[in-house]
Amino acid sequence: MRPAELDRVTVAEAADRYVELVRARTLTGGLSAATAEVYARDAATFVALAGADQVLDDLTGEDVDAILLAFARKPDGRRPSTTGQPPSSSERPPAASVGSSVGSSVGQSPSSQARFRRSISALFKHATLAGWVQVDPMAASTVTARQRGGLRPERRALTREQAQGLVGAARSLERSPGEGRRDQRTELRDALVVLLLATMGPRVSELVRANVEDFFTNDGVRYWRIFGKGGRTRDVPLPAVVAGALDAYLARGRAASPDKALLLSWRGRRLARGDVQAVIDRVQARVDPAQRRSVTPHGLRHTTATHLLADAVDMDAVRRVLGHSDLSTLGRYRDELPGELEVAMRVHPLLRGPDPAQ
């Protein structure tokens, strides 16, 4: 159980206590000496980046993000620096730098970044149990560790204006396909890819796995039978605009091929997962720069969930659209939107209709 009172220890003191505990575990065989030293080294780096005199409980998720990214940029001593003088690793960047690029040729390797995140996660987990922090700030961190690609800011939903700009660019492609040989034009396919991702939020694996036969009509409504995780399937109705884009692509844009895949390259082969980002980027290039923001396929899945939920669509319906087995999973896909609280208060349900003062 957690202690009744919070112990406001500094970062340095918390790290010292934690490392002492970790090293004690080597005496009982619970941890190897080499692993304990890795934890100790990472704890020392954490102290240098966070600030030794900083109170541990005062660190926020944004602070953790800044620390993780500062570590990612920290020169790797095993590789030579190309700049001559490496930047000081003791300078802690502002939280606003979370969106900066990481993973330069002289920075930490992806595996080192992932290991460092695990180390400080373990430290904060112990700190929560010991009563050194009220809330584990790792839960609010938006920077995650990946074995490939290193640390990166979590992908987020597009705003309504950005999403509408992207959808509008896709629809303009559908209305005015380009010049050249019909079997080498990809505009209708690109439009369909973006519309499916932005309005229905499939996983990229579900999108590229789709076959023509997975789309059917029932009572005048077009459906997509999506084959998702764990062998589960879901039938999701297509918005009218998306159904129109599908029909246009099948009639005029899909390359002739015996392959049953829905999305084909101009050579007639099934589109690969890695090709989808290039499709999004091509459509994004047509968006007005004031509305443009780079986004990944998974970011468009966030976009679908966020805007459906923001528009008061039933949570269980959104869960079924995305193919989640549990409602609790939706929390990871719901992102804050600028101005949404102001809108919510303007249209408060208790203040609609008759004057409440009467």
Catalytic residues: 203, 229, 298, 301, 324, 333
Round the CA-based radius of gyration of the chain to a whole number and report it. 25
> How many residues appear in the chain?
358
Q: Are 147 and 98 in contact (CB under 8 A)?
A: no
**Could you give the count of Cα atoms lying within 13 Å of 126 in the half-sphere of its Cβ?**
16
What is d(CA 126, CA 118) in angstroms, rounded to the nearest whole number? 12
The H or E element spanning position 153 is: strand 152-153
Let me know: does 169 contact 175? Beta carbons within 8 Å: no
- φ, ψ of residue 218 to 5 degrees: the values are -140, 120
Nearest-5° Cα angle at 357, 356 to 358: 90
User: Measuring CA to CA, how many Å separate 201 from each of 38, 245, 300, 353?
Assistant: 40, 16, 6, 35
Give the whole-angstrom CA distance, residue 321 versus residue 313: 11
Residue 176 to residue 168: CA distance in whole angstroms: 12
Distance CA 66, CA 71 (A): 9
Whose structure tokens read 């970011």?
299
Judging by beta carbons within 10 Å of its beta carbon (0-12, 13-18, 19+), is residue 34 exposed, middle or buried?
A: exposed
* Contact residues for 354 (Cβ-Cβ < 8 A; gap 6+): none
C-alpha 334/C-alpha 258 separation (Å) is 40
